[in-house]
């Protein structure tokens, strides 16, 4: 456990030193600002009410979870594995008194922290913007719906990042992993439209999982079923990724 803690602190330090973190934060801020400007312009220019104070963060989440969040989670996952193998710094990581399971778990946990922190950052930003420009339509119930929606979105995005981690341990080139991840992402979206009955087994179709949690008629059976499917995928992808990582020659 001590080895995992040390490896996790090391991975977190390297994560915050990467310039991609600044780019992710800037793009997230721009997305929220542009979205709020569009909503305000439609309200005052056309007289249309697109989203209220606590509805605006949900609109942002629907766009964020399908674009910037999986994109930067993919970048981080690739950096964690392909980047270190390409720069030959993985030997230094594994030279420390930590098992390969500890090192792999620390890297996966760092990706999870990045996803959770990104969701928390965008939620706080969009909620503040929504309440600032539409305070009259906000309420504590709406705030709770926003927090629940952002919280449950973590699971499908993290499971998708474990798929990228698996690919990173199969293919050595980071660029190839990135393009293959994008193709899989788009392919899953296409298949979920063509074969809607099989969409429950395509992880990208569950990026809007939060909609089930906040609908007027909550389908508990569907929520539990999709949660179990995602958990099963996550366990299998983590195990397969670690097995390849453990057998990989440095």
Residue carrying the six token digits 């929606």: 149
Return the pLDDT at 139: 74
* Residue 48 region by backbone torsions, left for phi larger than 0, else alpha for psi between -120 and 50, else beta: beta
Q: How far apart are CA 40 and CA 51, in angstroms?
A: 9
Q: What is the pLDDT at residue 48?
A: 61
Interior angle at CA 164, CA 179 and CA 118, nearest 5: 100
Give the span between the Cα atoms of 200 and 99, in whole angstroms: 35
Number of domains observed in the structure of the chain: 1
Q: What confidence tier does 53 reach under pLDDT thresholds 50, 70, 90?
A: low
Q: Report residue 22's pLDDT band, with 50, 70 and 90 as the boundaries.
A: confident
Identify whether the C-beta of residue 107 lies closer than 8 Å to the C-beta of residue 169.
no
pLDDT in tens, 155-184: 999 999 999 999 988 887 878 888 898 898
Give me the sign of the Cα torsion angle 114, 179, 241, 233.
Answer: positive
Q: What is the span of the domain harbouring residue 160?
A: 1-247
* Cβ(129)–Cβ(29) below 8 Å: no
- Reported as a single tens digit per residue, the pLDDT across 178-200 is 889 889 888 888 888 888 777 77
Model confidence at 136: pLDDT above 70: no
């Amino acid at each position: 456990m001590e080895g995992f803690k040390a490896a996790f602190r090391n991975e977190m330090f390297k994560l915050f030193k990467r310039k991609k973190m600044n780019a992710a934060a800037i793009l997230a801020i721009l997305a929220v600002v542009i979205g709020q400007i569009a909503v305000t312009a439609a309200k005052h220019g056309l007289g249309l009410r697109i989203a209220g104070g606590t509805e605006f963060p949900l609109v942002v989440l629907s766009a964020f979870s399908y674009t910037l969040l999986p994109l930067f989670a993919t970048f981080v996952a690739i950096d964690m594995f392909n980047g270190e193998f390409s720069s030959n710094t993985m030997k230094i990581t594994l030279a420390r008194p930590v098992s390969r399971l500890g090192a792999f778990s620390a890297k996966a946990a760092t990706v999870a922290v990045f996803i959770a922190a990104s969701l928390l950052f965008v939620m706080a930003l969009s909620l503040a913007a929504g309440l600032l420009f539409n305070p009259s339509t906000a309420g504590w119930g709406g705030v709770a719906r926003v927090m629940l929606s952002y919280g449950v979105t973590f699971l499908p995005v993290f499971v998708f990042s474990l798929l990228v981690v698996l690919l990173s341990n199969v293919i050595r080139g980071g660029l190839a992993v990135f393009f293959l991840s994008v193709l899989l992402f788009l392919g899953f979206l296409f298949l979920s439209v063509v074969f809607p009955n099989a969409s429950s087994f395509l992880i990208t179709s569950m990026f809007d999982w939060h909609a089930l949690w906040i609908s007027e008629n909550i389908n508990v059976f569907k929520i539990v079923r999709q949660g179990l499917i995602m958990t099963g995928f996550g366990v299998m992808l983590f195990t397969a990724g670690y097995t390849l990582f453990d057998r990989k020659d440095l």
